[in-house]
Structure 1
């Protein structure tokens, strides 16, 4: 077969062909302190530029909250979708919170798993049932008196790659998965097909990022920093009272965002804290590239990265039966954090596995409301005591 007769090689970064040029043309994100700048350099975070103009696509009020779908265009890739959720009839200025969705092996969707939507894709409900105790986290936080922005980040939801024609390596692995499904009599949904492909494709994304001098975590931080600036600019929001929270990969995003941006005053990390050493040799393969940026350990252990943040305080929630983190590593991280932050750190240990339970959510919301000065119009918060 001649070269002319060979099938065209699919794009390895479909939907993001403008990504390399964007990164090559950008300076690094400039942090407020030298310590934060070291993290920015290690992750390769591109400067996000001026806050993009956000368009309001629609607004509706239901069950005590007003939800607006926003969208904005960053300097590359698909347009971003996000949702602003706030208490109905309350216009602020309210404390603002960035709700950061998890990885969850679900890149077909993004922040839709955190928001109550009338026409949500079934994958959002599945993500809530599997990881959030069936609750829409951003909507619950808004009911406690916050203006909450939940956005799709780089490679998720509206920002996902186009894998309708997967690149060769991804396609080969996907065919093996399809074969197993056929053998098991399973007919995968569109979301399941995409997520299987995206799971294999994440290595290609990380490889591309590394070639460009950035990382998957750095690109996610780029999108999160842009969303934070949009949140701070909204008239409903008090820019002096901003926080963030996230579960699992979203917890890693919260820690990174708090370290990079002085806007974050308080934050919550749920089921995403351990020592790097505890992940070796058996637990490393359980995690995505969000936690495993090459060379990151040179800056210190995962809990030590919190010292690069200027936040007033933070809460870390641990699950004692977490399948992704050994208990010894979580306990070691807790002791490190207590020594580093004798006044600003709060840690709590909960029974159960890798799930952001209703009780944990209640604790996180109560903590953020107390520290960022939120009221509780229509709040549905009950006191729940964790088990140490």
Structure 2
């Protein structure tokens, strides 16, 4: 038996631990070929892993408009609402001019180690010059200079972006304090990743509840950690009808190799559900969204995710969507020249995809709302 020393930040026996992960609740290992039954069982297990204490029932949102900013084609509002029974939070809401209800997109911001701005990474801030300068630099670095929320609003979507705990108005968290925050939440019987997931579900429900929004046409979109949150949200919530995830998908075993960025800890706590990996691989969890429309983009030069990990994950995703008779609703793409970025070309592709499945504005494409007919939830 090998002495219990470490290999960098991994235990020397990490390969044995990794080999023992068989993901028994995955679709490929399931003893049932009844897709809805499999999904119900696997989704229940994923829900348990969120470690969210049961409450008395949904908290009223109680929304308040804090300020308003009118742009050329849409109006921006800072809204405050009950994000959970524990806390209220502020979000940036963009509503197109004209008659609604509009299709809508919940934007989920990235991590990037930058906590001073959260929702402002995706929606241009209109009332804080300091945050505007930082957000503009961030958009230049990762989004080809675009604020993706403003782009969506200009195309006819209502858009909502909310800070995750630790970012923007709910922070800023120091990078080195992420582990302590996660540990303290575990001490309190919950988890950081589970709290973030639950809040994303609530934010999507709030967006769908707005009178300006067509609640049957709400999608999710994110880059990097936001991509993880987007596919996770679609997997766990029936209220999200389509999700696009850019630069966050891999097989777990291909990620857990020496030198991988995720092994540094800290940031991983926002995406780490205790015990879930014993049951489901990362793409297995994402597959709980099937048969809903889903898009995954990866950068061929993304240093955070190995090509083997992306290939493994895409194969698993494809098998599930095809088994559900929904292969045409899944898009998996590798952009060979892209790194860990959400380029203008990738954004344009996502806009086309969202137009197909959600439609914007109403009447601009096929289907009654400008989008293709969506699959029923089973």
Shorter chain as denominator, the TM-score bin is 0.7 to 0.9
Partner SS for 1:293: coil
Partner of 1:126: 137
Matched, 1:367 2:353: yes
1:99 to 98, 101, 107: 107
Matched, 1:135 2:111: no
Matched, 1:346 2:327: no
CA distance in 2, matches of 1:151, 1:57: 14
Partner SS for 2:268: coil
CA distance in 2, matches of 1:94, 1:103: 28
- 1:1-388 equivalences in 2 (<5 Å): 33-46=40-53, 49-74=58-83, 79-87=88-96, 89-120=97-128, 121=131, 122-160=133-171, 198-281=174-257, 282-283=259-260, 284-285=262-263, 288-310=268-290, 312-342=292-322, 343=327, 344-350=329-335, 351-375=337-361
How many residue pairs are counted as aligned between the two chains? 311
CA shift, 1:327, in A, is 1.2
CA shift, 1:279, in A, is 1.3
CA contact (8 A) 2:117 2:167 kept: yes
CA distance in 2, matches of 1:273, 1:108: 26
CA shift, 1:115, in A, is 1.0
CA distance in 1, matches of 2:170, 2:320: 36
CA distance in 1, matches of 2:312, 2:181: 32
Q: How big is each residue's C-alpha offset from its partner over 1:227-272, in whole Å with a ceiling of 9 and x where there is no partner?
A: 1121111001011111101001011111111111101111011100
CA shift, 1:60, in A, is 2.1
CA distance in 2, matches of 1:208, 1:311: 37
> Which deviates further from its counterpart, 33-42 or 130-139?
33-42
CA shift, 1:78, in A, is 6.1
Q: How has the CA–CA distance of structure 1 residues 145 and 311 changed in structure 2, closer, same or farther, with 3 Å as cutoff?
A: farther
Partner of 1:24: none
**Structure 1 moving runs of 4+ over 6 Å:** none
CA distance in 2, matches of 1:75, 1:280: 33
Partner SS for 1:288: helix
Q: How has the CA–CA distance of structure 1 residues 298 and 139 changed in structure 2, closer, same or farther, with 3 Å as cutoff?
A: same
CA distance in 1, matches of 2:191, 2:238: 22
CA distance in 1, matches of 2:84, 2:222: 25
> Which deviates further from its counterpart, 123-132 or 271-280?
123-132
> Which deviates further from its counterpart, 286-295 or 93-102?
286-295
CA distance in 2, matches of 1:246, 1:371: 16
CA shift, 1:159, in A, is 1.9
CA shift, 1:79, in A, is 4.0
CA distance in 1, matches of 2:190, 2:290: 24
Q: How big is each residue's C-alpha offset from its partner over 1:339-375, in whole Å with a ceiling of 9 and x where there is no partner?
A: 1112121111112211111111111121111101222
CA RMSD of aligned residues (A): 2.2
Q: How big is each residue's C-alpha offset from its partner over 1:138-167, in whole Å with a ceiling of 9 and x where there is no partner?
A: 11111222111111122221222xxxxxxx
Q: How big is each residue's C-alpha offset from its partner over 1:174-216, in whole Å with a ceiling of 9 and x where there is no partner?
A: xxxxxxxxxxxxxxxxxxxx56xx2111001111122233221
TM-score normalized with structure 1 length: 0.75
CA distance in 2, matches of 1:119, 1:57: 11
CA contact (8 A) 1:101 1:247 kept: yes
CA distance in 1, matches of 2:203, 2:99: 20
Partner SS for 1:108: coil
Q: Which runs of 5+ in 1 are unaligned?
A: 1-31, 161-193, 379-388
Partner SS for 2:353: helix
